[in-house]
Amino acid sequence: IMMREISGINEIEVQLKKKLNLEDVIVVPGNSDEEPWVKNELGRACALRMKACLTGNNIIAVTGGTTMAAVADALTADFSNDQQEVLFVAARGGIGEDVENQANTICAKMAERSGRKHRVLYVPDQVSPEVYKSVVTEPSIKEVLTLIKQANIVLHGIGDALVMAKRRKTKDEEMEKILQGHAVGEAFGYYFNEQGEVVHRVQTIGLHLKDLPHVEHVLAVAGGVSKAKAIKAYINSKPKSTVLITDEGAAKQILACS
Ligand code: G3H
């Protein structure tokens, strides 16, 4: 607590909450672009917050990315108690990430570390609309989709649009759409411009933007000065009742911009 007061983190949280008009904001010290340990702090802060959200019956839908992986690393066996049911579910099917960054991998790890169960969403990347239609009628997939819609907690990262598009080896024509649309931010497969409008979305099943208002707790975790624009863009899309967990680097950068 002393450290937080000395570094003025509490004041930054108050200002950022006001500026972004969010329900709650948590800021950890440092800049995760520069210091890797800051991402672990983001993970820890998210794990704590998530723990505080738990009720008797929990379905936690999880997306991918390195920040979500840090959240998984922060989970331990005392995450939940015997009175609490917890199921981790992958929020999205394949969206072009390498295995270690995929929602499936991360949600399996969260379950393993916390001693709980998980369900994955096996959907191949980049399938045709026809294949898609039949995939979603598969009973095993349908079941997971139903669980996602029942999630009371959603955890997701926010990425810089171009960084994410490149990392996912996005096809030229989609890249064109992302560039033409001036996308700056990305979250669970949706690409947003500065105004928070969706300019592109990866065709995959799972959690959609329109599902978020029905989720009790949405925790968005993203830090680093380089993500300031992306975070602002996503928040401009007015996601309902999101708790933002970020770092000092991103927070100060957002506060410095008009
Ligand atoms: O959707 C956003 C990305 O998953 C963020 O990825 O945490 O590796 O920056 P990252």
User: Could you tell me if 38 and 258 are in contact, meaning their C-beta atoms sit under 8 angstroms apart?
Assistant: no
Contacts 24+ apart (CB under 8 A), 13-19: 13/251, 15/255, 16/244, 16/246, 16/251, 16/254, 16/255, 19/254, 19/255
What ipTM, to 2 d.p.? 0.97
> Residue for token digits 């680097």?
249
User: Could you tell me if 167 and 97 are in contact, meaning their C-beta atoms sit under 8 angstroms apart?
Assistant: yes
Query: From the CA of 173, how far away is ligand 1's center (Å)?
Result: 22
Report d(CA 226, CA 163) in Å as an integer: 10
**Is the backbone of residue 8 left (phi > 0), alpha (psi -120 to 50) or beta?**
left
Tell whether the model's pLDDT for residue 1 goes beyond 60.
no
pTM of the model: 0.95
- 7-11, 161-165, 178-182, 189-193, range with the lowest pLDDT: 7-11
pLDDT for 45 equals 98
Q: Whose CA is nearest to atom 5 of ligand 1?
A: 159
Tell whether the model's pLDDT for residue 115 goes beyond 70.
yes
Report d(CA 95, CA 124) in Å as an integer: 9
**Which amino acid is it at 227?**
K
Atom of ligand 1 lying closest to residue 222 CA: 7
- 10-24, 122-136, 193-207, 226-240, range with the lowest pLDDT: 122-136
Q: In the predicted model, what is the mean pLDDT of the chain?
A: 94
**Ligand 1 neighbour 174 (Cβ under 6 A):** no
**Ligand 1 neighbour 97 (Cβ under 6 A):** no
**Ligand 1 neighbour 141 (Cβ under 6 A):** no
Best probe residue, ligand 1, of 164, 198, 245, 247 (max atoms within 8 Å of C-beta):
164
pLDDT for 2 equals 55
Q: Looking at per-residue confidence, does 1 or 147 come out higher?
A: 147
**Ligand 1 neighbour 30 (Cβ under 6 A):** no
Q: Whose CA is nearest to atom 7 of ligand 1?
A: 67
Tens digit of each residue's pLDDT (9 = 90 or more) over 29-40? 999 999 999 999
**Ligand 1 neighbour 187 (Cβ under 6 A):** yes
Tell whether the model's pLDDT for residue 131 goes beyond 90.
no
Report d(CA 179, CA 176) in Å as an integer: 5
pLDDT for 7 equals 64
Atom of ligand 1 lying closest to residue 227 CA: 9
Best probe residue, ligand 1, of 32, 186, 190 (max atoms within 8 Å of C-beta):
186
Residue 181's φ and ψ, nearest 5 degrees, are -85, 0
Q: Whose CA is nearest to atom 1 of ligand 1?
A: 187
Distance of CA 217 to the CA centre of its chain: 12
